[in-house]
């Protein structure tokens, strides 16, 4: 079992990574949340695949379990389901020593994490990510959220889990598309700060997925522990995301997060190359990498529609917005710019 220890100002916790971890979830969780009532929150797809395994493991270790299932997909990360989960916790009598177990991808992790934070002003939280994206990104770092009709993740809180358990065996049931989504975020980590990881991703067959998850969690740990509340360095993780969120929104949330971020990364990198900000080979290298993992790099949206969708991003501060710009593969920096500069960047990138 590989373990990364995350020490943030608000909480310290381990991220455990290995095969067949669901069988050990009860034993591992007991160490960090104590034997208690466990409210498993999951979606209908993951429920059919892994909930029984988790429940068995928890019961074997002495947990009392209850379960709430939401429909799978981004549309479920909404205020209505959020309230349903809170009411479910209340109706089942969960109290302060009890715990929410978020079993699923980033959608479940985000909404269940937010519910754990708000219910009784905070009960314990165990993240059990089952998608690649959730293992390398959303389950770690404490961002929880739901979407509002005006945009993604507009209501949420910083709330660190007590433990994260990544069962790599669960990735076997992920379809190709969902794996590719995870690889979009892995490519993001490589471009922002790890050239060696980028080189490794050029030979997919040589990759050990648990090593990649470990490396990504380490990168996220280093960034998040230095800036838990996302006021500075942590924003580097948003590479490709301001435009990615805009593209996701313009698609009516039908385009997957990873694909939208891929296009966002490509637009920004092309713009930086055209503006002489980053090395000349950067854009080609990135596009080749995205192609290798069947990820898109282009959009048919116009400059103006992208701009309008992007400026509603929550990262905007008045007439200024901070973008993550690449200098070369393995190094990016933050630049706060006016909205008209941002419009220019989009023009250079599409
Ligand atoms: N909190 C954060 O820091 C953070 C970071 C990145 C992304 N996110 C959020 O994460 C969400 C995207 O996460 P996601 O890509 O995991 O999406 P998701 O949770 O919708 O999961 C994708 C699909 O895979 C299915 N699935 C999950 N595990 C499976 C498994 N093992 N086998 C087969 N199918 C499985 C789900 O049912 C769903 O249909 C977005 O809402 C995004 O905003 C949050």
pLDDT score, position 16? 98
As a whole number of angstroms, the distance between CA 279 and CA 264 comes to 18
* Domain edges within the chain: 2-173, 176-349
Which residues have CB under 8 Å from 300's CB, separation 6+? none
Residue 204, pLDDT > 90, answer: no
* Beta strand segments in 44-115, E: 64-70, 99-104
Could you tell me which residue, 229 or 40, shows the higher pLDDT? 40
Residue 349, pLDDT > 80, answer: yes
* Cβ proximity of 262 and 297 under 8 Å: yes
Mean pLDDT computed over 231-246? 93
Could you tell me which residue, 164 or 252, shows the higher pLDDT? 164
pLDDT score, position 311? 87
Residue 87, pLDDT > 90, answer: yes
Rounded distance from Cα 182 to ligand 1 centre (Å) = 9
Residue 93, pLDDT > 90, answer: yes
Label the pairing between strands 163-167 and 124-129: parallel
pLDDT score, position 21? 98
Q: Which CATH architecture fits 176-349?
A: Up-down Bundle (1.20)
Could you give the angle at the alpha carbon of 239 between the alpha carbons of 233 and 244, nearest 5°? Answer: 140
Mean pLDDT computed over 137-147? 96
Q: Give the model's confidence band at 258: pLDDT under 50 very low, under 70 low, under 90 confident, else very high.
A: very high
Rounded distance from Cα 133 to ligand 1 centre (Å) = 6
Closest residue to atom 36 of ligand 1, CA basis: 72
DSSP 327: E
Residue 313, pLDDT > 70, answer: no
As a whole number of angstroms, the distance between CA 137 and CA 131 comes to 10
For the Cβ of 178 lying below 6 angstroms from any atom of ligand 1, the answer is yes
pLDDT score, position 55? 98
For the Cβ of 73 lying below 6 angstroms from any atom of ligand 1, the answer is yes
CATH code that applies to domain 2-173 = 3.40.50.1970
pLDDT score, position 231? 86
For the Cβ of 142 lying below 6 angstroms from any atom of ligand 1, the answer is no
Mean pLDDT computed over 87-101? 98
């Amino acid at each position: 079992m590989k373990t990364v220890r995350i020490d943030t100002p608000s909480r310290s916790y381990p991220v455990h990574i290995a095969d067949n971890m669901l069988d050990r979830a009860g034993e591992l969780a007991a160490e960090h949340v104590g034997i208690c009532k466990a409210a498993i929150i999951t979606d209908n797809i993951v429920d059919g695949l892994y909930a029984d395994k988790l429940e068995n493991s928890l019961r074997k270790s002495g947990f009392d379990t209850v379960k709430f299932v939401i429909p799978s997909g981004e549309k479920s990360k909404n205020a209505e389901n959020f309230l349903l989960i809170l009411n479910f916790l209340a109706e089942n009598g969960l109290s302060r020593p009890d715990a929410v177990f978020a079993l699923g991808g980033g959608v479940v992790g985000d909404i269940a994490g937010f519910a754990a934070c708000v219910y009784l002003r905070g009960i314990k939280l165990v993240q059990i990510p089952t998608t690649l994206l959730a293992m390398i990104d959303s389950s770690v770092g404490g961002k929880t959220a739901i979407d509002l009709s005006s945009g993604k993740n507009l209501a949420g809180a910083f709330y660190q889990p007590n433990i994260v358990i990544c069962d790599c065996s669960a990735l076997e049931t992920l379809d190709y598309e969902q794996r590719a989504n995870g690889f979009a975020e892995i490519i993001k980590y490589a471009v922002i700060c790890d050239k060696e990881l980028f080189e490794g991703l050029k030979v997919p067959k040589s990759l050990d997925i648990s090593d990649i998850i470990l490396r990504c969690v380490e990168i996220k740990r280093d960034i998040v522990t230095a800036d838990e509340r996302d006021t500075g360095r942590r924003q580097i993780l948003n590479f490709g995301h301001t435009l990615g969120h805009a593209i996701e929104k313009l698609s009516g949330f039908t385009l997957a997060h990873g694909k939208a971020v891929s296009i966002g990364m490509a637009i920004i990198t092309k713009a930086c190359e055209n503006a002489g900000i980053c090395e000349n080979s950067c854009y080609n290298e990135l596009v080749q990498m995205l192609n290798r993992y069947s990820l898109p790099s282009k959009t048919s949206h116009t400059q103006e529609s992208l701009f309008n969708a992007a400026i509603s991003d929550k990262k905007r501060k008045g007439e200024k917005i901070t973008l993550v710009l690449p200098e070369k593969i393995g190094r990016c920096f933050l630049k706060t710019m006016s909205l008209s500069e941002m419009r220019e960047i989009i023009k250079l990138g599409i």
